[in-house]
Amino acid sequence: MNILDTIINAQGGGAVHNLGSQFGLGDTQTTAALSALVPALTAGLQRNLQGPDGLSQLSQALASGQHQSYLEDPSLLADPATTKDGNGILGHLFGSKDVSRNVAANAAAQTGVSPDVIKQLLPVAAAMMMGAIARHSTQSSASAVPTSGGSLASTLGSLLDGNRDGSVMDDVTGMIGKFFGSR
């Protein structure tokens, strides 16, 4: 299962409804918004992982947070602390608020959802993405958070392989080209 599927199926499918209710969106609009945002988030993650300490920084972030709870506890989606955490995640993934704004504008154009709503939803989606990574990391490791870069890298490979062809490079290249190619 990839990151988007994990988010959409969280809370027995209820995460989409809970998130949509928070932002005044129906389930279809919320799914469309997540479908537009998650590829940009994963492209930012992949770009971040290519840095010299990217994998170790992600591993530390997973070890220091309770990210999986964003997928499990519906009340956290509306908690201001989730938005704050999500904004911190966006800062690491994108490096600037301008990139976040461009991602939101692109998602709004793709989905027809208001840019203001997408801007508010984006940090929550980022927190949920970290929750999806944490969930898969936990499931693929005997420990709560993988301590070796290898097991985390393996987990990320399967999560980022959107078309399930065994290679993340084509998926990530497409995502990066779409969202960061003009920069």
C-alpha to C-alpha distance for 50 and 64, rounded to whole angstroms? 21
**Residue matched to tokens 């928070």:** 22
The CA angle 119-80-58, to the nearest 5 degrees, is 75
Spatial CA neighbour of 120 closest among 107, 129, 130: 107
- Residue 148 identity: S
Residue 68: both structure tokens together: 């999986």
| Distance between CA atoms of residues 1 and 157, nearest Å | 11
**pTM over 0.75, yes/no:** yes
Neighbours of 144 (CB within 10 A): 12
Using CA atoms of 36, 38, 41, 47 in order, give the dihedral in degrees to the nearest 10.
-100
Domain boundaries, the chain: 3-180
Intra-chain end-to-end CA distance of the chain, in Å: 30
Q: In tens digits, what is the pLDDT along the chain, a chain of 183 residues?
A: 688 999 999 988 899 999 999 999 999 999 999 999 999 999 888 888 887 887 777 777 777 778 889 999 988 999 999 999 999 999 988 988 999 999 999 999 999 999 999 999 999 999 999 988 888 877 665 444 444 444 555 555 555 555 545 444 444 444 434 444 433
